[in-house]
Amino acid sequence: MTGPSGSGKSTVLERLMARDPRLALSVSHTTRSPRPAEQQGVCYHYVSDEAFAALVEAGGFAEWADVHVHRYGTSHAEIARLRAEGRDIIFDIDVQGGDQLHAAYPDAVRVFVLPPSMAVLEARLRGRGTETAEQLEVRLNNARGEIARAGDYDYIIVNDRLEEAVEDFHAIIQAERRRAERAGPIAQRLLAEGRRDGHGEQQL
């Protein structure tokens, strides 16, 4: 799940997670220190610079990046853990990280969340009141670069009305769950049950 800052993707994601218990949000590794309300293994896996570098060297990350003075990454182990639980994993990730993740997991479904217009995006960012005029311009320039990549994604959602955007995203998830290559094992299980019951093959 990718989108520029101000597209509302975090709010969409929050609503999705509350609605669908099969979804799981990937917990990233980071070298930054936890903030007061954050918990180890819940918000992030907090590790030292040395431990992070060792994971990079060992190929332990599906994607990672330097962000300002800290490092962030998604480990293969975290993905394997959630898959083993039978969860559908959502990654809230930037374009660069999304490219790395898709290279490592080509079957990953990519969804880009767009604002309805650049004017709305700018208004949302200004409404936060957290950036200077210079920082705001940087974010808008970054947003234009990210939006230019939206056509590379499997699906695009325009977040004009929040509930509609959430419905659209959940419909994508439901459709992807029903793809033959994902749901095929269910058909195989039913055939196996039929053989055990004597339908199709004689029981021993």
Q: Domain limits at 42?
A: 25-86
Q: Does 203 have pLDDT greater than 60? A: no
Average pLDDT, integer, range 86-111: 93
Chain-wide mean pLDDT for the chain? 90
Q: Could you tell me if residue 18 is inside a domain?
A: yes
Inter-CA distances, 59 with 3, 69, 78, 120, Å = 27, 21, 13, 40
Q: What is the pLDDT of residues 149-189, one digit of tens each?
A: 999 999 999 999 999 999 999 999 999 998 866 777 778 88
Q: Could you tell me if residue 166 is inside a domain?
A: yes
Q: Are residues 32 and 44 in the same domain?
A: yes
Q: What is the pTM of this model?
A: 0.80
In the structure encoding, which two tokens stand for residue 190, read together? 């039913």
CATH number, residue 39? 3.30.63.10
Q: Does 128 have pLDDT greater than 70? A: yes
